[in-house]
């Protein structure tokens, strides 16, 4: 089921590519997709190219994939290891009851909806769900310095 769904989603992407990301599945393992995120203009991430990887299990779409930034990115919702704190990638029961069930993973989500949700929190962080405390504090307390760090990162990665 997973390969059939992934094949369908990839064909949809080929038919209608996004201006905000590219997808490149591994040739030897279709469960691993390499993503380049190309954030919208008029944001502090404009001009950036952020490498990411999505790992799908054989249970996809019943189980959420794992999404990780390869490009180092200081951001309130991105852990130091590159994993993203976003509710739509959370499987199962919310033991802390901090997320509405409608916000969590369900099989109707697609690769497109995952990536677009991640781009959305990239631009407008969810400050109620912090993954990187240092980035959060800088973002909150000294946004101009945070922007400088992002601009420098983008310049160095080009």
Pair of tokens at residue 37: 């995120």
Pair of tokens at residue 79: 């852990």
Catalytic option among 38, 78, 85, 86:
85
Q: What is the pLDDT of residues 47-106, one digit of tens each?
A: 999 999 999 999 999 999 999 999 999 999 999 999 999 988 877 655 444 545 556 688
Q: What is the pLDDT of residues 130-140, one digit of tens each?
A: 999 999 999 99
CATH architecture of 2-156: Roll (3.10)
Known active-site residue 85? yes
Task: Report pTM.
Answer: 0.90
């Amino acid at each position: 089921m997973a390969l059939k769904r992934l094949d369908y989603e990839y064909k949809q992407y080929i038919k209608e590519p996004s201006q905000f990301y590219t997808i490149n599945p591994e040739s030897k393992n279709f469960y691993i997709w390499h993503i380049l995120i190309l954030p919208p203009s008029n944001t502090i991430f404009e001009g950036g190219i952020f490498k990411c990887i999505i790992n799908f299990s054989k249970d996809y779409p019943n189980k959420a994939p794992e999404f990780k930034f390869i490009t180092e990115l200081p951001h309130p919702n991105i852990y130091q290891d590159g994993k993203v704190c976003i509710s739509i990638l959370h499987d199962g029961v919310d033991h802390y009851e901090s997320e509405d069930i409608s916000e969590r993973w369900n099989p109707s989500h697609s690769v497109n909806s995952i990536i677009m949700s991640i781009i959305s929190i990239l631009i407008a962080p969810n400050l109620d769900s912090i993954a990187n405390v240092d980035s959060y504090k800088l973002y909150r307390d000294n946004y101009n310095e945070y922007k400088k760090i992002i601009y420098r990162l983008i310049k160095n990665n080009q």
